[in-house]
């Protein structure tokens, strides 16, 4: 008798789990109905991005925000050059007079949904802000694709029109790209040594080439902290 009751309960648990799985699958597919060339993992991450951001915002104990807007960098930011996603040389001197947000990005990360917000940020403040993405495979190999794959993924799924650099390393070491070397070396930027703790860390450089802010991954691109810094 008892085994019969247990069987019925297990059967209902299985049915509920099965129906929940179907409902979640349908939710993921509907959420990503306009997505192109996305893996199942990428679709899942895009669908749960709002929940992920809420959770990490509550639980993230890493340094979220650093700022200093008074120190003149010992090495000029405008001396930097990097290779863009399309193989051309990107000269940062041409960005004088505008704020610049530099972000290390990845296509298979829980924060990948921030591409949407970064695009909106670049459009909303196009007269005063330049957003630049630096794809990197430094964290759990979450950016395995080629530069061509990355550009297509960002354009098709998030409408990204802001500049992307060639995939490179953003963490300290012999292969770190020159821009993130400047951003994380106080001997060059004047004060900050904080390197990216994960994908989608954001560094803000002001109109005069001073590094003014570091924002951790859990800080949303359209959040109050960032928009206030852009408007300052």
Domains identified in the chain, total number: 2
Catalytic residue among 28, 47, 100, 109: 109
Q: Are strands 129-135 and 163-164 parallel, antiparallel or unpaired?
A: parallel
Q: Is 201 a catalytic residue?
A: no
Question: How high is the pLDDT of residue 29?
Answer: 44
Q: CA-to-CA distance for 30 and 202, rounded, in angstroms?
A: 30
Task: Quote the Cα angle for 53-211-97, to 5°.
Answer: 105
DSSP 22-89: HHHHHHHHHHTTT--S--HHHHHHHHHHHHHHHHHHHH--S--EEE--SPPPSS-GGG-EEEBTTS-E
Q: Which two tokens stand for residue 105?
A: 């990005």
CATH number for the domain that contains residue 224: 3.40.30.10
How much is the pLDDT for 61?
Answer: 56
Same domain, 75 and 142: yes
Domain span at 212: 65-231
Residues 25 and 71 in one domain: no
Q: Name every residue whose Cβ is closer than 8 Å to that of residue 204 and which is 6 or more positions away in sequence.
A: 99, 100, 101, 102, 211, 212, 213, 214, 215, 226, 229, 230
Give the per-residue pLDDT at 55.
Answer: 61
Cα(210)–Cα(74) distance, integer angstroms: 10
pLDDT computed for residue 217 by the predictor: 95
pTM of the model: 0.80
State whether 12 and 98 are in the same domain: no
Q: Which pLDDT value is given to residue 39?
A: 76
Successive 10-residue mean pLDDT values, the chain, 232 residues:
56 48 40 58 61 55 86 98 98 98 97 97 98 97 97 97 98 98 98 97 98 96 97 96
pLDDT at residue 63, rounded to an integer: 75
């Amino acid at each position: 008798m008892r085994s019969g009751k247990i069987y019925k309960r297990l059967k209902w648990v299985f049915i509920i789990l099965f129906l929940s799985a179907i409902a979640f699958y349908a939710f993921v597919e509907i959420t990503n109905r306009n997505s192109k060339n996305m893996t199942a993992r990428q679709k899942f991450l895009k669908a749960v991005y709002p929940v992920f951001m809420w959770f990490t915002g509550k639980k993230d104990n890493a340094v979220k925000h650093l700022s200093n807007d008074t120190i003149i960098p010992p090495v000029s930011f405008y001396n930097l050059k990097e290779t863009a996603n399309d193989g051309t040389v990107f000269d940062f001197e041409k960005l004088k007079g505008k704020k610049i947000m530099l972000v290390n990005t990845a296509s298979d990360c829980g924060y990948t949904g921030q591409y949407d917000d970064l695009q909106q940020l670049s459009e909303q403040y196009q007269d005063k802000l330049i957003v630049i993405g630096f794809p990197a495979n430094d964290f759990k190999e979450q950016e395995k694709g080629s530069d061509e794959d990355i550009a297509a993924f960002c354009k098709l799924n998030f409408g990204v029109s802001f500049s992307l650099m060639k995939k490179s390393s953003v963490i300290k070491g012999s292969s770190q790209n020159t821009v993130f070397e400047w951003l994380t070396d106080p001997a060059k930027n004047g004060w900050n040594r904080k390197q990216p703790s994960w994908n989608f860390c954001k560094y803000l450089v002001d109109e005069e080439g001073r590094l003014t802010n570091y924002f951790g991954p859990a800080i949303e691109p359209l959040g109050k902290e960032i928009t206030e810094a852009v408007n300052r």
